[in-house]
Structure 1
Amino acid sequence: MKAWQRKTSLTGPRVKAVMESHEVQILHALVSNIVDMLEQRRDSAPRDELAEITGMRSGHSELPAEAPLARLLPDFHRPEPGSASDADAAAVARAHNSGMRMLHEPEIIDAKLAAASTVLRSLPARGGTVSLSPEQAQAWMGCLNDVRLGLGALLLEAGAVDGVPATDIPEYVEEDDPRSAHLDVYHWLTFMQDSLCSVLTGK
């Protein structure tokens, strides 16, 4: 895949790139996996009588246990060092995060699923030109970021030492390293996202 390009058409500006068939298959599989995780998270959210009456959905109160999903749906607040005792700060942060997550996680999931749907609908079936409106390109940016974050979380887990996940994603690993194929895809996603960002920002 070459870099994204901005083109002018009779219907307005378009953002275009040509994707090979195998690239389409890889991206389709990655995005579909994100969709599955988000839908399972959405569908497993607790339901209560008040939500049924008011129509206001309630999300989970806890951070997802799965590392990729936790990167897509992180906590809203982290305690500031030195603001209080560590125990007090952690308790306040937990309570704040729980309430914010219950209120806002459903709409965050909706937005991520909408962006993923845009990507899946606009992918050519067997490779070819991807042609996006500026609005679709923004959805691609968000979805590519989610896919990259999720894959990055798996790479960090795979690089764990003594059960502690790695903190940095390597630029390169040996070909026989179990992370090799996934790392190549991660760097490809990074290129795709950076290229699209450059086109959208005019840089």
Structure 2
Amino acid sequence: MAGLFESAGGGSAAIALDELEVSILRSLEVGMVQMIGPGPGGDGGDPLAALFAEGPTEAPANPMLARLFPDAYGDPAKPEDPESRAASGEFRRYTEVDLRARKREDALHVVRMLDRLGGEGGVLKLDPADCLHWLGALNDLRLTLGVQLEVSEDDEELYELPDEDDRKPLVMAYVWLGALQETLLEAIAD
């Protein structure tokens, strides 16, 4: 399996990860959970607080979080207009709390599954529900790494960096996560 997903039939998938791959993936997902932060009611996850919580009305200042929680209205290529900004704020107010909770749960789900390997390599088998969590978590990691690397459509030189470049490990992780996403999609489609 060489660190990529294979079909396990019926919308399920399996992946063999070595110790280094487990460590990298777990570290990235833990960082994602920390960046997203606790839900309403703090780490205790007070269900009543979550039920009545309203989200923020402004986009996050952190560019990686802004990529995970983009404005719903307006064209990013055009100057911001007050009407779109107000509509985006209202939309964000009612949706961001749930979206953050889903992204946090996706990342935690991956961490918990990796923890089953006890910090060592091994084979993970994902049922169809697991696959959905993994797809969401992998996508979120790629989005945030893309922001860090300032990836654009015509960034071919980014993939040809010399080994001495500090961005090289992030580019390698970005490419690997893309391969994981692609092979997981192929595996669940079989």
Q: What secondary structure is seen at the aligned counterpart in 1 of 2:145? A: helix
The equivalent of 1:19 in structure 2 is 17
Separation of aligned partners in 2, 1:172 and 1:195: 23
- Identity of paired residues, percent? 27
1:80 shift after superposition: 9.2
Tell me which amino acid in the other structure corresponds to 2:21.
E
Pairwise CA RMSD? 2.6
Seen in structure 2, the aligned counterparts of structure 1 residues 13 and 189 have a Cα distance that, compared at 3 Å, is: closer
- State the structure with bigger RCO (CA 8 A, min sep 6), 1 or 2: 2
Larger Rg: 1
1:55 shift after superposition: 4.1
Separation of aligned partners in 2, 1:25 and 1:201: 28
Correspondences of 1:1-203 after superposition (within 5 Å): 1-8=2-9, 14-39=12-37, 42=39, 55-79=51-75, 90-123=81-114, 124-125=117-118, 126-156=120-150, 167-168=152-153, 169=155, 170-202=158-190
Unaligned runs of 5+ in 2: 43-47
1:75-115 CA distances to partner (integer Å, 9 max, x unpaired)?
1112499xxxx77x611110011001111000001111111
Count of residue pairs brought into register by the alignment: 178
The equivalent of 1:48 in structure 2 is none
Separation of aligned partners in 1, 2:148 and 2:62: 10
1:190 shift after superposition: 0.6
Shift >3 Å, 4+ stretches: 42-45, 166-169
- Report the TM-score, using the length of structure 1 for normalisation: 0.78
The question of whether the paired residues in 1 share the 8 Å contact of 2:60 and 2:66 is answered with: yes
Separation of aligned partners in 1, 2:41 and 2:86: 21
The question of whether the paired residues in 2 share the 8 Å contact of 1:79 and 1:90 is answered with: no
